[in-house]
């Protein structure tokens, strides 16, 4: 309680409440204390709006509203919307449209929509965008959430909405995508902002499916729209302590001494951890498959800090306020050291040495802060350059982007009744964590159980051990449950980000063929090397394979600086490198007078061709040979050219001379599907006696919809509707292993495991059914529509089979586990088109429209897949337009708030239209590849291309801050 105690009476969700609150308590915290857990917190500054509730019918930020100020008023939270278990029409609409992805912002969105529709039952899309702009969403791209509000309005007006369905085109034999005529709205000739359903174009040879491919609603959608307490953020344990972290105010300093005596003496403080009292176990914090890529340059607490926000000490106390007070009592004697923020400066002789400790091994050149130096080459690059007709060079820069998942890092730890340590945490990698935490806290992995509840977004930042080791150690030391939660400021300073890259390409062209390419990447890994090696290797592979010259050289220096460490971020190096390659390809086409689409199309990786560097560049090791087996990229490009009227606009826009100029840009991109030869997933399917199924998977749904699409795969094989497959993920005790949610692996790798497990279960069902039919063999039996049908027409339902196999005859548990690994990583690909307006007098770029045509193999669920694309595009748009972690001369962030950092809000977002051109990737489950990271790759090159079309200038450094564009235009003039 903050401030003086005050008794208030208010009405919450129709019920009168009499509460005692502090006069400085915020409504958000008071509501959550009273178990209204739908009310979420995403920032500390009132910037994100996800805590929105209605007070007397008006939407307010509950984090900025004092509880005493709502005395006598009525408060409505998401818990108050559904009646007798029936969803409110707004909740229904969010379910139907896929408007709830991770779901963490969903209650805030729903409540804002409620307020809007109460006032305006028939809002325009512009009114929806304006009204909803106070609530940040990081997953959806806002297409589906806007759709949900408009759909809810129709429902509330009594109009029949029907379920959201994609627009489907099944091509007949002999037809091509050129025979597809998209409806007029997809051309956006009227500049309308309306959300449109995704389009799915299916080639004639695609096998038919029933559940796979259907726009099923997410299996977790109901609990998300109801605002149920499903996140680690909502978890509290009786008797728990609150952990808190003291972090460094210095970018680089030695800790000469720490005096924790005052903190330890404070009543209610149970433990204080520093470098003095925790074991010095060297490790890397990235959640990656062992052997963990080096260097092992971290310890739980060190006597040196290497960035502002680095760990100094931790406490566990009986209240959060006490924990903060204890932190303030810790006296730290620092010796500030010279620091370096710029990676190029960090490599120079005489730069401050960031890792001068003797016990870190595996640093390539510690004196020059080069943690890794990577070289890989195929063909004879120098000879190819010598023989080239033209050689082009270009340098590009990409920013340090923060994930800004709305659920912060939250971890709880406790000892269970068997003296095993439970880690309940918001993570993408529960199995890696179990293995990684154990040695740091002096336990065997078998003594640890990691539970992953629903995750409120991750985007790579939860593929990392951020709080788990400290929280676990506090429980080990105190014997008590401990909860730790990061603030938004700590998310910026003390978690991870993308790697800012300097990207230098040298490309040799003979005629119109790219014959050689060299890529030099400088990757700024920040203070620690986690993911530094693998991100750059992926950048090298993806950045040199898209146009795949037979002579290719990749060189990279991964450099320490005194910035917060980088890590995994959706796109993982490919986004940065492909941005450079795409832009230089267009620069080359322009200089050679070639049509850029044709030039790229001629050189792009094609079916049957090997990715030359694939064997040299795995992730942290050598890779495996990879040939492209499927590609719909050419078809995607054709669709995009048509839907955007690309050539006509490009020609017209190139002639503009006025202040405001329009531009259209185009980019090819491709990604991968899991890490070849490394990612492994397993799935277990059990048949219950009622003929339904329980699917347990280690795969971690972080809002992507993976639980849903994996269940769809199982349902398809088992001949049942989706509702007959109950999914549980993930718990290291009870679900089989999975590497985790990263590397675009879940659909392809985890989906492969589910399909195999389902096939095994199907085989058992058919064998048992054969017994019931008294047949010698299951041959000829068909499993579909919840029953097994014999060739003679007899049938048993799955209920019959479940009952018989469990209780009645030759009893057995029908159940199977299967694992899946792939030695190929088939690339999904996309053609992206951006349309912009540039104010040439100010340099401001506005993205007016974005169109993506993507080949992700089979589209398992068009709504969740479209949500992935839309959300990825918008996250990437932030990378292009506004998002960059900027540091001052002392290594402090200049923009460590959501407001200053500025991810895109609803009203910032252009319409994003998605078309899927399916291909049948035979190595993927039902022909699927992947989608999540591909979506990140196209925005940067397409938007930069559009700006060039509008203005004639190339802006090679991202983000496209107005001043950068303005300067480029002035320099050209």
Partner 1 sequence: MPHPTLTPTLPTTETGWLRIQGDASLQTLVEAANTPALLKQALKRSFSWQERNDMNVLRATLSPDQGPLWAAALLAWDTQIYFDSGDIAPYGAFLKREVKPAGRSSGILIRPEAEQTRWGVAEVARTRRDTPIVGVVAVVDMKGTLVETARVALTGVWQRTADLAQAPAQLSGAELSSDAIAKVAAAIAAEVDPRPNFLGSVEYRRAMAEVLSADALTQCMTE
Q: Which residues bind partner 1 (CB under 8 A)?
A: 46, 49, 52, 55, 58-61, 64-66, 69-70, 112, 115, 130-131, 133-135, 839, 841-844, 846, 881-882, 884, 886, 894-895, 899-900, 902, 904-905, 907-908, 959, 961-963, 966-967
Q: How far is the CB of 34 from partner 1 (least distance, A)?
A: 18
DSSP letter for 186, please: G
- How many whole angstroms separate alpha carbon 643 and alpha carbon 67? 52
Query: CB-wise, 58 or 606, nearer to partner 1?
Result: 58
Pairing mode, strands 331-336 and 513-526 = unpaired
Q: How far is the CB of 28 from partner 1 (least distance, A)?
A: 11
Query: CB-wise, 26 or 709, nearer to partner 1?
Result: 26
Comparing CA positions, the residue from 548, 483, 405, 577 lying closest to residue 43 is 405
- How many whole angstroms separate alpha carbon 597 and alpha carbon 602? 8
Query: CB-wise, 373 or 899, nearer to partner 1?
Result: 899
510 — phi, psi (to 5°)? -120, 115
Q: How far is the CB of 27 from partner 1 (least distance, A)?
A: 9
Q: How far is the CB of 822 from partner 1 (least distance, A)?
A: 40
Pairing mode, strands 725-728 and 693-697 = parallel
Query: CB-wise, 278 or 341, nearer to partner 1?
Result: 341
- Supply the Cα-derived Rg of the chain in whole angstroms: 28
Query: CB-wise, 606 or 899, nearer to partner 1?
Result: 899
Q: Tokens representing 813?
A: 């548990």
- How many whole angstroms separate alpha carbon 59 and alpha carbon 131? 10
Q: How far is the CB of 400 from partner 1 (least distance, A)?
A: 12
Q: Tokens representing 824?
A: 């190929």
- How many whole angstroms separate alpha carbon 200 and alpha carbon 203? 10
Q: Tokens representing 332?
A: 């730290």
Do you know the residue count of the chain? 973
- How many whole angstroms separate alpha carbon 93 and alpha carbon 81? 13
Q: Which residue(s) pair with 244 in the sheet?
A: 315
Query: CB-wise, 67 or 681, nearer to partner 1?
Result: 67
Query: CB-wise, 451 or 845, nearer to partner 1?
Result: 845
Query: CB-wise, 127 or 194, nearer to partner 1?
Result: 127
Q: At what angle do helices 106-119 and 143-156 cross, to 10 degrees?
A: 40
Q: How far is the CB of 251 from partner 1 (least distance, A)?
A: 17
Query: CB-wise, 441 or 909, nearer to partner 1?
Result: 909
Q: How far is the CB of 115 from partner 1 (least distance, A)?
A: 8
Query: CB-wise, 366 or 906, nearer to partner 1?
Result: 906
Query: CB-wise, 421 or 836, nearer to partner 1?
Result: 836
Q: How far is the CB of 69 from partner 1 (least distance, A)?
A: 3
Query: CB-wise, 8 or 476, nearer to partner 1?
Result: 8
- How many whole angstroms separate alpha carbon 563 and alpha carbon 575? 21
Query: CB-wise, 590 or 907, nearer to partner 1?
Result: 907
259 — phi, psi (to 5°)? -110, 110
Q: Tokens representing 424?
A: 């309940």
Q: Are 177 and 201 in contact (CB under 8 A)?
A: yes
Query: CB-wise, 615 or 907, nearer to partner 1?
Result: 907
- How many whole angstroms separate alpha carbon 401 and alpha carbon 884? 5
Q: How far, in whole angstroms, is CA 645 from its chain's centroid?
A: 31
Q: With left for phi above 0 and alpha for psi between -120 and 50, is residue 57 left, alpha or beta? A: left
Q: How far is the CB of 35 from partner 1 (least distance, A)?
A: 22
Q: How far is the CB of 841 from partner 1 (least distance, A)?
A: 5
**434 contacts: CB under 8 Å, gap ≥ 6:** 423, 445, 448, 449, 450, 732
- How many whole angstroms separate alpha carbon 119 and alpha carbon 250? 51
Q: How far is the CB of 145 from partner 1 (least distance, A)?
A: 15
Q: How far is the CB of 471 from partner 1 (least distance, A)?
A: 33
Q: How far is the CB of 658 from partner 1 (least distance, A)?
A: 14
Q: How far is the CB of 962 from partner 1 (least distance, A)?
A: 5
Q: Tokens representing 423?
A: 């880690």
Q: In 10 A of CB 316, how many CB atoms?
A: 30
Torsion of CA 892, 898, 899, 903, to 10 degrees: 120
Q: How far is the CB of 133 from partner 1 (least distance, A)?
A: 6
Query: CB-wise, 776 or 889, nearer to partner 1?
Result: 889
Q: Are 526 and 307 in contact (CB under 8 A)?
A: yes
Torsion of CA 418, 420, 424, 425, to 10 degrees: -170
Query: CB-wise, 54 or 473, nearer to partner 1?
Result: 54
Pinpoint the alpha helices (H) of 695-750: 706-718
Q: Tokens representing 378?
A: 């195929």
Q: How far is the CB of 958 from partner 1 (least distance, A)?
A: 12
Q: How many CA atoms lie within 13 A of 450 on its CB side?
A: 30
Burial group, residue 154, by CB count within 10 angstroms (0-12, 13-18, 19+): middle
- How many whole angstroms separate alpha carbon 903 and alpha carbon 875? 8
């Amino acid at each position: 309680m903050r401030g003086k105690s005050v008794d208030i009476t208010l009405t919450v969700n129709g019920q009168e409440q009499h509460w005692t609150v502090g006069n400085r308590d915020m409504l958000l915290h008071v509501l959550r204390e009273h178990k209204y857990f739908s009310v979420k917190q995403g920032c500390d500054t009132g910037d994100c709006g996800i805590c929105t509730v209605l007070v007397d019918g008006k939407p307010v930020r509950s984090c900025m509203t004092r509880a005493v100020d709502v005395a006598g008023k009525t408060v409505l939270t998401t818990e108050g919307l559904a009646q007798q278990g029936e969803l409110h029409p707004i909740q229904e609409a969010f379910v139907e449209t896929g408007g709830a992805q991770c779901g963490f912002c969903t209650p805030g969105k729903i409540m804002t929509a409620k307020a809007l529709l109460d006032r305006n039952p028939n809002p325009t899309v512009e009114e929806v965008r304006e009204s909803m702009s106070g609530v940040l969403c990081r997953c959806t791209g806002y297409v589906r959430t806007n759709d949900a509000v408009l759909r809810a309005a129709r429902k509330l007006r009594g109009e029949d909405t029907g379920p959201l369905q994609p627009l489907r085109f099944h091509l007949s034999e002999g037809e091509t995508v050129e025979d597809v005529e998209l409806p007029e709205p997809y051309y956006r000739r009227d500049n309308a902002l309306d959300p449109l359903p995704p389009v799915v174009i299916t080639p004639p040879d695609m096998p038919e499916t029933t559940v796979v491919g259907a726009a099923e609603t997410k299996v977790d959608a109901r609990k998300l729209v109801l605002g149920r307490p499903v996140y680690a953020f909502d978890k509290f344990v009786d008797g728990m302590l609150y952990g808190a972290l003291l972090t460094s105010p210095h970018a680089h300093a030695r800790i000469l001494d720490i005096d924790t005596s005052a903190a330890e003496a404070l009543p209610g403080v149970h433990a204080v951890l520093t470098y003095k009292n925790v074991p010095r176990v060297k490790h890397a914090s990235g959640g990656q498959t062992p052997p963990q890529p080096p260097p092992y340059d971290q310890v739980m607490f060190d006597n040196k800090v290497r960035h502002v926000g680095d760990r100094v000490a931790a406490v566990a106390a009986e209240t959060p306020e006490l924990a903060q007070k204890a932190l303030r009592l810790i006296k730290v004697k620092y010796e500030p050291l010279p620091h370096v923020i710029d990676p190029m400066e960090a490599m120079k002789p005489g730069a401050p040495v960031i890792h001068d400790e003797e016990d870190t091994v595996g640093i390539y050149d510690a004196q020059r802060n080069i943690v890794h130096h990577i070289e890989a080459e195929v063909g004879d690059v120098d000879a190819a350059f010598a023989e080239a007709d033209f050689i082009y060079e270009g340098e590009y820069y990409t920013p340090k982007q923060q994930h800004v998942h709305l659920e912060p890092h939250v971890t709880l730890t406790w000892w269970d009744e068997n003296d095993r340590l439970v880690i309940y945490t918001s993570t993408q990698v529960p199995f890696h964590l179990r293995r990684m935490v154990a040695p740091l806290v002096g336990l065997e992995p078998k003594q640890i159980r990691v539970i992953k509840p629903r995750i409120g977004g991750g985007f790579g930042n939860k593929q990392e051990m951020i709080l788990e080791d400290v929280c676990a150690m506090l429980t080990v030391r105190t014997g008590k449950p401990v909860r730790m939660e990061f603030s938004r400021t700590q998310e910026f300073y003390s978690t991870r980000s993308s790697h800012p890259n300097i990207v230098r390409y040298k490309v040799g062209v003979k005629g119109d063929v790219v014959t050689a390419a060299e890529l030099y990447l400088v990757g700024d890994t920040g203070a620690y090397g986690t993911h530094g090696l693998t991100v750059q290797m992926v950048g090298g592979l993806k950045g040199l394979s898209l146009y795949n010259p037979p002579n290719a050289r990749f060189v990279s220096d991964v450099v320490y600086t005194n910035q917060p460490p980088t890590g995994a971020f959706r796109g993982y190096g490919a986004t940065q490198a492909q941005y450079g390659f795409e832009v230089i390809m267009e620069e080359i086409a322009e200089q050679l007078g070639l049509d850029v689409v044709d030039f790229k199309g001629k050189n792009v990786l094609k079916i049957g061709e090997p990715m030359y560097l694939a064997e040299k560049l795995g992730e942290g090791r050598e890779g495996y040979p990879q040939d492209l087996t499927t590609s719909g990229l050419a078809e995607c490009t054709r669709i995009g050219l048509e839907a955007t009227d690309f050539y006509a606009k490009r020609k017209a826009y190139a002639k503009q001379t006025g202040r405001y100029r329009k531009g259209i840009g185009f980019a090819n991109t491709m990604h991968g599907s899991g890490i070849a030869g490394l990612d492994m997933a397993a799935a277990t399917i059990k048949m219950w006696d009622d003929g339904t199924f329980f699917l347990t998977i280690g795969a971690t749904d972080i809002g992507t919809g993976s639980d849903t699409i994996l269940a769809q795969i199982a349902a398809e094989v088992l001949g049942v509707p989706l509702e007959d497959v109950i999914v549980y993920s993930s718990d290291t005790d009870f679900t089989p292993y999975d590497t985790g949610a990263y590397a675009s692996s879940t659909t392809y790798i985890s989906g492969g495991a589910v399909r195999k497990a389902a096939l095994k279960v199907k085989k058992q069902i058919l064998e048992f059914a054969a017994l019931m039919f008294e047949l010698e063999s299951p041959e000829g039996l068909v499993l579909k529509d919840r029953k097994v049908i014999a060739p003679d027409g007899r049938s048993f339902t799955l209920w019959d089979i479940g009952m018989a196999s469990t209780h009645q005859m030759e009893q057995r548990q029908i159940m199977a586990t299967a694992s899946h690994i792939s030695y190929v990583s088939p690339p999904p690909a996309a053609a992206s088109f951006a349309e912009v307006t540039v104010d040439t007098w100010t340099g401001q770029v506005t993205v007016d429209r974005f169109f993506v045509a993507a080949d992700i193999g089979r589209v398992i669920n068009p709504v969740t897949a479209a949500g992935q694309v839309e959300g990825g595009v918008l996250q990437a748009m932030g990378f292009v337009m506004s998002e960059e972690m900027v540091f001052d001369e002392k290594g402090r962030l200049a923009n460590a708030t959501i407001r200053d950092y500025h991810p895109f809000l609803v009203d910032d977002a252009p319409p994003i239209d998605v078309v899927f051109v399916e291909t049948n990737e035979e190595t993927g489950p039902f022909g699927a590849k992947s989608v999540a990271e591909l979506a990140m790759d196209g925005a940067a090159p397409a938007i930069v291309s559009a700006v060039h079309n509008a203005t004639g200038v190339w802006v090679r450094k991202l983000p496209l801050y107005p001043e950068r564009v303005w300067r480029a235009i002035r320099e050209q003039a």
